[in-house]
Structure 1
Amino acid sequence: MKSFRILAPLFISAAVGLSGCSSSSDEEKAALANMGAQQLYEKAKTSMEVGNFSLAADTLSTLDSRYPFGPLSHQVQLDLIYSYYKSGKTEETLATVDRFIRLNPNHSDVDYAYYMRGLTNMESDSNLFQEMMNIDRSDRDPAKSREAFNDFRRLVEQYPNSKYAADARKRMLYIKERLAKYEIAIARFYMRREAFVAAANRGRYVLEHFPDSTQVQQALEIMVSSYEQLGLTELRDNAMKTLKLNYPDSDFIS
């Protein structure tokens, strides 16, 4: 396992000093210009060790562009992915991941690249403030969560024995719950708008695609209510039968 690899979510905080930024930046660029490949890599590793991932990313980016085919090139790209991720630079992380996968499809660490892609997309869908305040925003667009799910699924399917596969599977379960909650939120919106066909379809989608989520009971209740409003007696009775069989304590039944 390479240095600076992770298996946990990230919460990023940043402190920005406003004094002397320009001069220190110019001095840093001048110092980097005079360094060789090994010096640059040692500097980047030191920055990573002390948690200065922004500086590490700048250094690794310089090294990567200056020595794209050197003996350290693969490790530099992997560390650059991690440094961008830790710096909260989503677009740069994904671009670097995609480039690594495209250029090194058979590399021994390509599973790590897929894992980092999934992590980056997954965190792009999160909102730290809302989570801290327990604000439920299940209705927000889950596009990034879908991307993350596909990233983790690709990892699990193509590299089932990867050291990252077990964590990827756990994250897929979490994402499925997120996606199911989104479908329920949209279904309830349709119910309020009296778009009962659309609401019932969303409920059925949860049953078909997320049967192991905690949203199945709500999906069935929405289907029963929607079919009742539409006068679809047989479909209503079938949904109610399934609801009673699996959730006999549902308040909706009584």
Structure 2
Amino acid sequence: MRSFRLSAVPTGLVLALGLLLSGCANNPKDVTAGWTPEKIYTEARDEANSGAWDKAIGYYDKLEGRAAGTVLAQQAQIDKAYAQYKTGDKIQAIATLDRFIRLHPASPALDYAIYLKGLVNFNDNLGLFAFLTRQDLSERDQMAAKESFEAFKELTTRFPDSKYTPEARQRMMYIVNALASYEVHVARYYASRGAHVAAVNRAQQAISEYQGVPAVEEALAILIGSYDALGMTDLRDDAKRVLEKNFPRSDYLTVGGVKKSSPWWRLW
């Protein structure tokens, strides 16, 4: 009987075949391969509605490629940005929205895209009271708040009749009040420790950058107290006149309707 022997296979070829087979085994099957764009979108929305944001993002990515150039692909891009926002991936959400705004300047959803861009950077914990217990509001928080404000401002300017504009205006007011209150909080901190030059600088910043907000009242009071402590009586009196004119019933001017016998600005 004639014997049969396998010929030797080069080691390199064996390794290559092994890697190829391993790659095939680890490459998951695309379950959307035979789906219509409409079915992919339906599945994406179902996942989003159930809170499975990461799965929804995967479907939206598929849909953007599968239905490129269609209105459905635009909708997928907008919905993907919202899903990214819900997962906390603000950087990717902003990048997705910036791409949408750049590629679809005439889209009927442009006002929503700009609104969502503002919402992504908006921080509910930036409020008038929440951050005042903190020693510092990071530069990152302030930058995000300012970028949020700019997006809402763009929305209200370009789309004054948009259904998202009233809420955007409210959020703008919230941001301005929060940032102004923080500046006053810092100014008060400096003044209480005798760092009156620093207190003056922060109070002036609050007054110049955030005009017309309630925090300006205390900013003026801090200015007066710090100017007095520094011996700058002319500037002190100027600030006092501004306070009296803009806040004639201010608690910093009277206590129970009666003028204080001692200088009222000596709060510290």
Q: TM-score, normalised by structure 2?
A: 0.74
Larger Rg over CA atoms: 2
Q: Aligned Cα RMSD in Å?
A: 2.8
Structure 1 residue 140 and structure 2 residue 137: aligned? yes
Q: Which residue of 2 aligns with 1:7?
A: none
Query: Aligned residue pairs: how many?
Result: 225
Tell me the SS of whatever aligns to 2:160: coil
Q: Which residue of 2 aligns with 1:152?
A: 152
Read off the aligned partner of 1:98 and give its amino acid letter.
D
Q: Looking at both structures, which has the greater relative contact order when contacts are Cα pairs under 8 Å and sequence separation is at least 6?
A: 1
Q: Which residue of 1 aligns with 2:173?
A: 173
Q: Which residue of 1 aligns with 2:116?
A: 116
Structure 2: distance between partners of 1:207 and 1:127: 19
Read off the aligned partner of 2:144 and give its amino acid letter.
K
Tell which deviates more after alignment, 185-194 or 162-171: 185-194
Tell which deviates more after alignment, 156-165 or 78-87: 78-87
Would you say the 8 A contact 1:138–1:181 is kept in 2? no
Would you say the 8 A contact 2:132–2:185 is kept in 1? no
Gaps of 5+ in 1: 1-24
Q: Which residue of 1 aligns with 2:69?
A: 69
| Change in 2 beyond 3 A, CA 1:66/1:193 | farther
Structure 2: distance between partners of 1:71 and 1:149: 29
Tell me the SS of whatever aligns to 2:125: coil
Deviation at 1:196, TM superposition (A): 2.6
Would you say the 8 A contact 1:37–1:67 is kept in 2? yes
Structure 2: distance between partners of 1:218 and 1:71: 52
Q: Which residue of 2 aligns with 1:206?
A: 206
Structure 2: distance between partners of 1:194 and 1:209: 24
Structure 1: distance between partners of 2:77 and 2:108: 13
Q: Which residue of 1 aligns with 2:251?
A: 249
Q: Which residue of 2 aligns with 1:223?
A: 223
Deviation at 1:58, TM superposition (A): 1.5
Deviation at 1:40, TM superposition (A): 1.2
Written as runs of structure 1 = structure 2, the 5 A alignment for 1:10-89 is 30-89=30-89
Deviation at 1:120, TM superposition (A): 0.4
Percentage identity across aligned positions?
Answer: 35
Would you say the 8 A contact 2:64–2:74 is kept in 1? no
Q: TM-score, normalised by structure 1?
A: 0.77
Q: Which residue of 1 aligns with 2:94?
A: 94
| Change in 2 beyond 3 A, CA 1:187/1:127 | closer
Would you say the 8 A contact 2:225–2:265 is kept in 1? no
Structure 1: distance between partners of 2:226 and 2:61: 55
